[in-house]
Amino acid sequence: MLDALLSSPLASAVALLFGYLCGSIPFGVILTRLAGTQDLRSIGSGNIGATNVLRTGNKALAAATLLGDMLKGTAAVLIALYLVGPNNALLAGLGAFLGHLFPVWLRFKGGKGVATYIGVLLGLAWPAALAFCAIWLAVAAVTRYSSLAALIASAATPAVLLATSSGLEPALFGVLTVILWITHRDNIARLLQGTEGKIGQKA
């Protein structure tokens, strides 16, 4: 009976919706508002992620945003894993990622998804999350391009999962990686033009 319930369309829909609601929590907007800064969406790129929070000059606030955006993905996955099983945990992870990109509270205008991508990966396959971070750090150290580091690390993630996982995680992260690259299309254009900002470079 329990197995049938966990595998039901209703359980899957609930997991997806739960993940979406977790992912749609706009930590960048909430934290900057609590700190008394101007509306994050009127600063820099207008993005709600940690990189744009950093443009406020508050590194601690940016770090808190990064952590919040990561952990909402991790929490969505782990709670769904405990309550409705591993397959539905994948759906919760997908929902969390989409929630960050298209939060209902902000008229579906969210962030680019890197932190939440890592958080979902951490909840589903933490060794692959460590590999992502190692690749990101290596590429960022050599090139000083945060966006390029994220793109390369995400492109490598499905392959890492294929080598280490026997479940559906590689397929999920294949989809998430494609979406992540789409959200970074402007960054890709600037990288090709040589105009992308580097880590530590003043705007």
- With 50 as the cut, is the pLDDT of residue 2 above it? no
Measured in degrees and rounded to the nearest 5, phi and psi for residue 38 equal: -70, 165
pLDDT band with cut points at 50, 70 and 90 for residue 44 = low
- With 90 as the cut, is the pLDDT of residue 171 above it? yes
Number of structural domains found in the chain = 1
CA distance linking residue 185 with residue 181, whole number of Å: 6
Sheet strands (E) in 66-165: none
Mean of the pLDDT values across residues 81-106? 94
Tokens of 107: 């008229």
CA distance linking residue 79 with residue 55, whole number of Å: 33
In a domain, 201, yes or no: no
In a domain, 83, yes or no: yes
Model pLDDT, residue 34: 87
More confident residue, 67 or 49: 67
In a domain, 66, yes or no: yes
Tokens of 29: 């907007």
**Could you give the dihedral angle defined by the CA atoms of residues 64, 66, 67 and 68, in that order, rounded to the nearest 10 degrees?**
80
Q: What is the mean pLDDT of the chain?
A: 89
Report the SS3 class of residue 85: coil
Terminal-residue alpha carbon distance, the chain: 58
In a domain, 172, yes or no: yes
Decide if 121 contacts 173 (C-beta within 8 A).
Answer: yes
pLDDT band with cut points at 50, 70 and 90 for residue 118 = very high
User: What is the residue range of 185's domain?
Assistant: 2-193
Which range of 10-14, 97-101, 142-146 scores highest in mean pLDDT? It is 97-101
Q: pTM here?
A: 0.91
**Which residues are within 8 A (CB) of 134 and not within 5 positions of it... i.e. 6 or more apart?**
none
Model pLDDT, residue 46: 64
pLDDT band with cut points at 50, 70 and 90 for residue 155 = very high
CA distance linking residue 14 with residue 66, whole number of Å: 26
In a domain, 63, yes or no: yes
